[in-house]
Amino acid sequence: MVFTFQDALEEINHYGVFLSPKTIGQLQDRVKAVNSGTASAGPSLSKKRAISISDSDSDLLSDKENNTAPNGADIYEAEEEDEDDIDLDDDRLATPKWSCGQLRAKIRKFVATDKVMKVSEFQKAIGVSGKSYYAFMKQHGTWEGAESHSFVNAHRFFMKRELLGLDKKGKGKGKGKGKDEGKEPAKKKSKTEAASLKNAKEAAFAAKYDVSSISLPGEAQGEVAVYDQCDEIRKKIKAVLRDPDMTRAAFCREISKTWPDRAANLKENALQGTTLGSFLSKKGSREGRTSLVFYASYVLFEKLRIRGGKPKTQFREEMEDIWGPRGFDIWTSTSTRYLTTKKMNIYSDEYGQVRVG
């Protein structure tokens, strides 16, 4: 009869002993020797001395039978298994998969991050004392702690969970639950529903800024008299851009509708975000006055005011009194130069008028 390596593992698993990789290698060599006839197969492992194993694993076996850890600490007995659980004698549980370092990281994630169990519950589940558990968790290195009961039992514990598919399901034996557990998953919207929702959102947005029913004197010629200054228009633009549905590109399309040459083909002729950004970056009541963004934004805001039935502000009326029928200066080039004496300064007031003082 040929004595196979699997036969040996079944004998060892009968006692719940977890062998280190080094010992498994020695065991394989021993099996080969027995089968080749260079050594005799001794009695079965049920007599505890069948195959030569390392002293550490022999001690582990005897300590487990005596229900004590190498450091003298008591070992708790594991709770009875459920009917659908994998049997403790299942040889798959003894298959080495994680190193000590990997297992420590897995334990920390299990009890600290995912909070599937409390530390005390986990200790009881794997059948070790707190002293044994913390001694193992404080160690460092890939294989430091390989002879610890905490490593052996925790390894079998996680192998069992993996075989049962508990980790994939996001379930644990402990009390910890994900915050979404018990809730029905959100239903995905169909393409038709998503498109319908998008269209409804766009329609609501268009209605919010639709001023097509309002006409201003001189609008068709692009000559609406402006009664606002640059800094005030910048404030209004920034306020509109705080609307979560309003992007710079969308704002540029809206103001382009007020300009005769651009309204007919917004896809090709809409004002660009770079032009808007350039205007917004300036400071001063007259800075940016020749920009199309300034003029078109004023027209849009004036139409929105009229559509909403809002009265003119005091500042607006003051601008009309100061600038007269032609409106605010949007035609003087920004490169215009002024001559003055050395002691005199040129500045623009809050209404955009050039002053010397």
Instruction: Please compute the mean of the pLDDT values over residues 50-69 and round it to a whole number.
Output: 44
Q: What is the helix, strand, coil percentage profile of the chain, to 5? A: 50, 0, 50
Q: Does the pLDDT at position 40 exceed 90?
A: no
Task: List the beta strands (DSSP E) in the chain.
Answer: 346-348, 354-356
3-state secondary structure at position 323: helix
pLDDT band at 267 (very low <50, low <70, confident <90, very high): low
Poorest-confidence range of 12-16, 99-103, 185-189?
12-16
Enumerate residues 6+ apart whose C-beta is below 8 A from 302.
216, 224
Integer Rg of the chain from CA = 41
User: Residue 315 carries which DSSP code?
Assistant: H
Winning range, highest mean pLDDT, from 67-71, 174-178, 265-269, 313-317: 313-317
Report residue 283 as tokens: 């400071």
User: Residue 91 carries which DSSP code?
Assistant: G
pLDDT tens-digit series, residues 92-147: 777 778 899 998 999 999 998 888 899 999 999 999 999 999 999 999 888 888 88
pLDDT tens-digit series, residues 275-328: 999 999 999 999 999 999 999 999 999 999 999 999 999 999 999 999 999 999
- The Cα–Cα gap between 79 and 159 comes to 17
Which pLDDT score is estimated for 269? 72
Top-confidence residue, 157 or 6 = 157
* Secondary structure tally for the chain: helices H, strands E: 16, 2
